[in-house]
Amino acid sequence: MVEASSPLAWLGEVERQREAAGLRRRLRTRSAAEPEIDLASNDYLGLSRHPRVIEAGVEALRIWGAGSTGSRLVTGNTELHEELEQELATFMGAESALVFSSGYTANLGAVVALSGRGPSSSPMRVRTPR
């Protein structure tokens, strides 16, 4: 609890107002077995629980072990990286595809490519009139 003489005392009043307005957030613990539609995560299609996805994951664990053991920049590509990128390229009808390690790096790559601020030899460079 923050003392009334503290410069942060006003936070107590803000907390009370949020509580009274029903705006205070609390973590809700759910069971893994709890069926639900999840529209707030990256699994809104429910593929993480699909039997074929689980079977493929178990098989990959048997072959590759658990975890990446490092980023591909540090530890290099695996056959899995190259197979996934080739399948994505084929699916999209593209010459090649690149899988990023996170949403942040994917967004960064897209912004750099579309803004034309990357290397001048980049095939994705967008030319803007001066």
CA 120 from centre of chain: 29
- First-last CA distance in the chain: 59
pLDDT digits (tens, 9 = 90+) for 38-75: 777 888 788 988 999 999 999 999 998 988 778 888 88
Q: Containing H/E element for 77? A: none
The answer to whether residue 118 sits within a structural domain is: no
The answer to whether residue 14 sits within a structural domain is: yes
The answer to whether residue 72 sits within a structural domain is: yes
The answer to whether residue 39 sits within a structural domain is: yes
Split into its structural domains, the chain has a count of 1
The answer to whether residue 48 sits within a structural domain is: yes
Tell me how far apart the alpha carbons of residues 10 and 2 are, in angstroms, rounded to a whole number: 9
The answer to whether residue 4 sits within a structural domain is: no
The answer to whether residue 3 sits within a structural domain is: no
pTM: 0.55
The answer to whether residue 53 sits within a structural domain is: yes
Range of the domain at 38: 10-99
Tell me how far apart the alpha carbons of residues 43 and 83 are, in angstroms, rounded to a whole number: 23
pLDDT for 59: 95
Mean pLDDT (the chain) is 84
